[in-house]
Amino acid sequence: MIKIPQFVKNLRPYKAGKPIDELAREKNLVKIVKLASNENPLGPSPKAVEAIEKALKNLNRYTDPLSHDLVLAIANKYNIQPNHIICGHGADALLSYIVNAFTTQSDEIVTSEGTFIGIYVSIRKYGRKLVTVPLKDYAFDLEAIYNAITDKTVMIYLANPNNPTGTMFNRDEFEMFMAKVPNHIMVILDEAYTTYADDNPQYPNGIRYDYDNMVVTRTLSKAYGLGGLRVGFAVGPDEVIESLYKIKLPFEPNLLAQHGAIAALDDDEFLIKTKELNRKSLTLIIQGLDKIGIKQVPTYANFILTLMPSEQFAKEFTEECMNRGLILRHVNTFGIPNGVRINSGTIEETEFALDIIGKVYNTLCDKYNEKVKL
């Protein structure tokens, strides 16, 4: 009989937000709004769609394993040396490669409770030891993370802004932290939501730094609307990038993802519209949640973390919203049992969501006879 390692048996697969088609089949609903996966409500970049359509005739060809043209597009856009860039099948894949390439089973990786669940999966699936410290006001506690470093620590994971809380550490906090971290410890800085935070003058844009022990990961799944293509990139020292090329699958991102990403990176007009809609939608959500009386965490991303009275309340709240055609994300698996994440949408989607949220929340408050204290 095949032996399955115990750490594999202990793994829990990543559970994504429920797809719209699946919910429609289950509940026989006509109108469904999904604000659970931090997707771009505008859809994909039009330039990306056009480029993908042109590339379809070449589907019989293997794609460039070095993503040469995409790497150059990223290098030109962000003024980075091409040998400091690697592209992959989404930021998730790159995080997995980084953990695999630069840690062994005796090593410890330090991060925070209540951050991106994908990094937990990447660490545990290789049998590495995960060390977590509590959030501080729903944000990364960089001092606590530094204090958790031991002689077994080889890697630290940070997300800025953090998913699912939307919080951000500023430039001074980040630079003081990096100045203290020993140079042999690799720091992963996950900037999946950088587009929504980089207008803030205190935001520490990771790719503008030149630390020998840091690698920055980014994705085109969020602001650029390419979640279905799975394309991301990492920026780091050339020796780190060289090592990652040795272990990554050779033909990723796929051909359509590479062409779509190159075009999306050139679509500044779409990005401006995306950020403007995000601001408008989040403003409506914040005002609506305040009126309903739902506690929330200040955000620098394209989503808001709401805080329910209990884990059971959050679970029922999410389920009842879903029964009415609104898909939200209960983030208990991220480490915040009473949290429900809501991402920005179109104005129509946002208004639809707030109507359902208000009705469901008030119904459950009557049931449990309790309100969140603001």
Nearest to 284 by CA among 235, 357, 366: 357
- Determine the Cα–Cα distance for residues 263 and 271; give it in Å rounded to an integer: 12
Q: Are 164 and 119 in contact (CB under 8 A)?
A: no
CB atoms within 10 A of CB 38: 24
pLDDT in tens, 182-200: 999 999 999 999 999 999 9
Tell whether 19 and 65 lie within a shared domain. Answer: no
Tell whether 27 and 80 lie within a shared domain. Answer: no
As a whole number, mean pLDDT of residues 275-296 equals 97
Residue 159 belongs to some domain of the structure: yes
Residue type at 226?
A: L
At residue 373, the pLDDT reads 41
Token pair recorded at residue 199: 């207008």
CATH number of the domain that residue 214 is part of: 3.40.640.10
Residue 373 belongs to some domain of the structure: no
Residue 171 belongs to some domain of the structure: yes
Judged against a pLDDT cut of 50, whether residue 201 lies above it is answered with yes
- Determine the Cα–Cα distance for residues 99 and 240; give it in Å rounded to an integer: 12
Handedness of CA 290, 288, 340, 93 (dihedral sign): negative
Number of domains comprising the chain? 2
pLDDT in tens, 298-339: 999 999 999 999 999 999 999 999 999 999 999 999 999 999
Nearest to 137 by CA among 286, 371, 336, 342: 336
As a whole number, mean pLDDT of residues 156-178 equals 98
At residue 368, the pLDDT reads 82
Tell whether 234 and 301 lie within a shared domain. Answer: no
* Lowest mean pLDDT across 52-61, 108-117, 363-372: 363-372
Judged against a pLDDT cut of 70, whether residue 246 lies above it is answered with yes
* Lowest mean pLDDT across 25-29, 152-156, 257-261: 25-29
Domain end (from 244, 267, 290): 267
Q: Are 317 and 308 in contact (CB under 8 A)?
A: yes
Domain end (from 267, 298, 331): 267
Judged against a pLDDT cut of 70, whether residue 14 lies above it is answered with no
Identify the three-state secondary structure at position 255. Answer: helix
At residue 290, the pLDDT reads 97
Residue 59 belongs to some domain of the structure: yes
Kindly indicate the confidence band of residue 372, based on its pLDDT and cuts at 50, 70 and 90: very low
At residue 374, the pLDDT reads 36
Residue 346 belongs to some domain of the structure: yes
Residue 287 belongs to some domain of the structure: yes
Tell whether 252 and 281 lie within a shared domain. Answer: no
Tell whether 92 and 233 lie within a shared domain. Answer: yes
- Determine the Cα–Cα distance for residues 347 and 112; give it in Å rounded to an integer: 33
Domain end (from 213, 241, 267): 267
Tell whether 67 and 177 lie within a shared domain. Answer: yes
- Fill in the DSSP letter of residue 208: G
Judged against a pLDDT cut of 80, whether residue 25 lies above it is answered with no
Nearest to 356 by CA among 43, 32, 39, 40: 32
- Determine the Cα–Cα distance for residues 52 and 333; give it in Å rounded to an integer: 35
CATH number of the domain that residue 315 is part of: 3.90.1150.10
- Determine the Cα–Cα distance for residues 325 and 105; give it in Å rounded to an integer: 44
Tell whether 190 and 277 lie within a shared domain. Answer: no
For residue 231, the enclosing domain spans 46-267
Q: Are 338 and 311 in contact (CB under 8 A)?
A: yes
Kindly indicate the confidence band of residue 6, based on its pLDDT and cuts at 50, 70 and 90: confident
Residue 1 belongs to some domain of the structure: no
Kindly indicate the confidence band of residue 2, based on its pLDDT and cuts at 50, 70 and 90: confident
Tell whether 54 and 114 lie within a shared domain. Answer: yes
DSSP conformation letters of 75-106: HHHHT--GGGEEEESHHHHHHHHHHHHH--TT
As a whole number, mean pLDDT of residues 116-132 equals 93
Tell whether 17 and 66 lie within a shared domain. Answer: no
Judged against a pLDDT cut of 80, whether residue 23 lies above it is answered with no
Sequence-ordered list of residues with C-beta below 8 angstroms from that of 215, at least 6 positions apart, any chain: 98, 186, 187, 188, 189, 234, 235, 236, 237, 240
Residue 374 belongs to some domain of the structure: no
As a whole number, mean pLDDT of residues 245-260 equals 95
Judged against a pLDDT cut of 80, whether residue 30 lies above it is answered with no
* Whether this model's pTM surpasses 0.85: yes
Tell whether 159 and 187 lie within a shared domain. Answer: yes
Kindly indicate the confidence band of residue 3, based on its pLDDT and cuts at 50, 70 and 90: confident
Q: Are 88 and 232 in contact (CB under 8 A)?
A: yes
* Lowest mean pLDDT across 7-11, 160-164, 262-266, 292-296: 7-11
As a whole number, mean pLDDT of residues 86-102 equals 96
Identify the three-state secondary structure at position 110. Answer: strand
At residue 16, the pLDDT reads 64
Average pLDDT, whole number, for the chain? 93
Please report, for the chain, how many H helices and E strands are present, in that order: 14, 13
Tell whether 200 and 211 lie within a shared domain. Answer: yes
Tell whether 259 and 286 lie within a shared domain. Answer: no
